[in-house]
Amino acid sequence: MNDLGFVMGEQRIAEAKIDLWAKRNFKALLSYCRFTQFFQDIPFSLPFAYVVLDQAFPNSKFILTLRDSPQQWYDSLTRFYSKKWGRKREPAHQGEFTKSKIYYQRGFVEIYKLIHNAPNDARIRKKD
C-alpha cells in the first residue's frame, strides 16, 4: 500500500489502544485514524472496530484475508514470530514463545486473552 502512495498507520500505536477497544471506546482510535489512510491487523480487524470505522469513514474499503484452517493460521503466526525473534526453529507453545515474549507493551498471551475474552488460565496451544 505504501508503493501505491497510501499513508500507512503505525501498527504499534494502534495496538497500544487494545484496552480501549476491549472497553468499546473507539474515540482515540478514530482520532488516530484521521491522520493516516491505511491500517492493518489489530485492532482494525477485531469485532466492532471495522463497523465503527466504516461508519466514521463512509466509502472506506476493507480487505479480508482468510486461512483454510486454524492450524494454518497458527503455523503462519509461529513462523512470523520465530523470524522476528531470531529463532531457527518453531518456538515451544506457552513457554518461550508466548509467555516470555513481550508483544509491544505487554505479554503476547495477555493480548490474545483480551481479544478473545479468554479466562486467565487459558493457553495458546498448537494442535497436535
Tell me the pLDDT band of 128, cut-offs 50, 70 and 90. very low
CB 54 within 8 A of CB 26: no
Model pLDDT for residues 63-100, shown as the tens digit of each residue: 888 889 888 877 887 777 777 666 555 454 444 444 44
Q: How far apart are CA 3 and CA 7, in angstroms?
A: 10
Confidence category of residue 30, pLDDT binned at 50, 70, 90: very high
Instruction: Name the H helices within 16-107.
Output: 18-22, 27-33, 49-56, 70-84
pLDDT: is 52 or 124 the higher one? Answer: 52
Helix runs in the chain, H state only? 11-15, 18-22, 27-33, 49-56, 70-84, 108-116
More confident residue, 4 or 101: 4
Domain boundaries, given as residue ranges, for the chain:
11-56, 70-116
pTM flag (> 0.85): no
